[in-house]
Amino acid sequence: MTYKVALSFEDGVTRFIKCGPNETVADASYKARINIPLDCRDGACGTCKSLCESGTYDGGDYIDEALTDDEAEAGYALPCQMTPKSDLVLQIPTTSDMAKTGASTHRGTITEIRRYSSTTIGFSMAVEDRAALSYLPGQYVNIQVPGTDVERSYSFSNGPDVEEISFLVKITPGGAMSTYLSDRAGVGDTLALTGPMGSFFLREPKRPALLLGGGTGLAPLLAMLETMTTTAPGQPVHLILGVTTDEDLVELDKLRHYADTIEGFTWDYCVADPESEAPNKGYVTALIEPTHVNDGDVDVYLCGPPPMVEAVRGFLKSEGITPANFYSEKFALAAAPATGDLVGASA
C-alpha cells in the first residue's frame, strides 16, 4: 500500500508523490526526482523541516536542535525522518524550481459548456490520463486559451475524485478566455492545462469553517464542499456567496444539494445590486453572524476580488475576531486590457 503525499512549494506548484508506510517522505521524493531541501538526512540539522497541513504520520527519530517539541506540536515535521500513516499535505520550504521540478502539464477535451448567463460560463473536461492529474480541493490550474499563447488561471469547481473536471468563468468583455468561450468554444475542443497550483485548499477540519465566495470565487468552495460529501467535516460549515448582479447567481442548486447532504452545512447569499430580487442586498460582511466566527475558533476560506478580501479582513478586525486560520485566494484583473479575464493569485 502507498499513500499520496502532496508537496506544496512556495511558488504555488504542487506535486504529488507516492510514499510507502515504511518509506520516508524524503526517500519517496528522491525516487520521484524531486529535490526537496535536505542536508544531514539524519534528523539532526532541521534543513528539511516542513509544515504538515493534513494527515497523520510517524515523525521518526530526531534531535531537539532539528525540531523542537513546540514545532512538532505546531505540525512541523522532518521529511527525512517522517513516514506516512495516511495521505499527507506538506508545505515544502523552497520553490519547485529549486527542487528541480515544476507544474505538470495535461491535455483534456471539453465535454460540456454551460452558458449560465451573460456573465458566467461553466465548462467540463475529460482529461487524458486523468489519474495523473491529482489536486487538492480549492486549487487551480492554468489553462491555455486555444489559438493563443495566453494562459488563464481557473479553480476546479468540483472535487478531485470525479472523472471529469469543471470550471466556472466570469465573462469579461474582450478577455481572451471569455471571448473564446463566448464565441468559439465547442464540445470536443482540446485544451492544455498546467498545474495544480495554489495554497488555497481545504485543510483537515479541526474547527468550524466559514467559506466566503465572491462571484466565480464560488468555484473552489464548491470543490471543497464536494470533498466534504465523502469526508464529513464533523464541524459546522457555513458558506456565504456574494455577487454583483442576479446574473452572477449560479450553481445555487448545488449549494441546496450540499445543504441536504453534508451534515452541519448551511449557506446564504447576497447580491450587491440594489435592484436585485434577492432577499439580501449588499455585501457578505452583512451576513456574517457571531455563530459563524465562533469567537475566532474558525477556519475562514475566502475566494473573491481584492476589495472583498480587504473588506472581510477589516470587518473581522473591527469585530475583534482573529480567526484561527484565514486562507484567501484573491482575484485580480489581468493587466492588459485585451486580456481582461480574472486570474487567481493565492494570498
Look up cell 464529513; give the residue.
232
Q: How many residues does the chain have?
A: 347
Q: Which is nearer to ligand FES, 46 or 340 (CB)?
A: 46
Q: Which is nearer to ligand FES, 76 or 331 (CB)?
A: 76
Q: Which of 7, 29, 46, 127 binds ligand FES (CB under 6 A)?
A: 46
Based on the shown chain and the rule CB under 6 A, indicate whether residue 38 belongs to the binding site for ligand FES.
yes
Give dist(CA 250, CA 180) in Å, integer: 20
Give dist(CA 112, CA 123) in Å, integer: 5
Question: Shortest approach of ligand FES to residue 49 CB, angstroms?
Answer: 7
Give dist(CA 26, CA 31) in Å, integer: 9
Binding-residue total with ligand FES (CB under 6 A): 13
Segment interacting with ligand FES, rule: CB under 6 A, options 41-49, 69-77, 84-92, 203-211 = 41-49
Site for ligand FES in 60-89 (CB under 6 A): 66, 78, 80
Burial class (CB in 10 A: 0-12, 13-18, 19+), 42: middle
Question: Shortest approach of ligand FES to residue 37 CB, angstroms?
Answer: 7
Beta strands in the chain (DSSP E): 3-9, 14-19, 50-54, 57-58, 76-77, 83-84, 88-92, 104-115, 120-127, 140-144, 151-155, 164-170, 190-197, 209-214, 237-243, 265-271, 299-304, 325-333, 342-346
> Can you read off the three cell numbers belonging to residue 146?
486555444
Q: Which is nearer to ligand FES, 48 or 239 (CB)?
A: 48
Q: Which is nearer to ligand FES, 24 or 285 (CB)?
A: 24
Q: Which is nearer to ligand FES, 39 or 163 (CB)?
A: 39
Q: Which of 4, 32, 44, 204 binds ligand FES (CB under 6 A)?
A: 44
Q: Is the dihedral of CA 162, 97, 25, 65 positive or negative?
A: negative
Based on the shown chain and the rule CB under 6 A, indicate whether residue 43 belongs to the binding site for ligand FES.
yes
Residues 134, 214: contact at Cβ < 8 Å? no
> Can you read off the three cell numbers belonging to residue 5?
503525499
Based on the shown chain and the rule CB under 6 A, indicate whether residue 28 belongs to the binding site for ligand FES.
no
Q: Which of 5, 7, 17, 45 binds ligand FES (CB under 6 A)?
A: 45
Q: Which is nearer to ligand FES, 44 or 51 (CB)?
A: 44
Binding site for ligand FES (CB under 6 A): 38-41, 43-48, 66, 78, 80
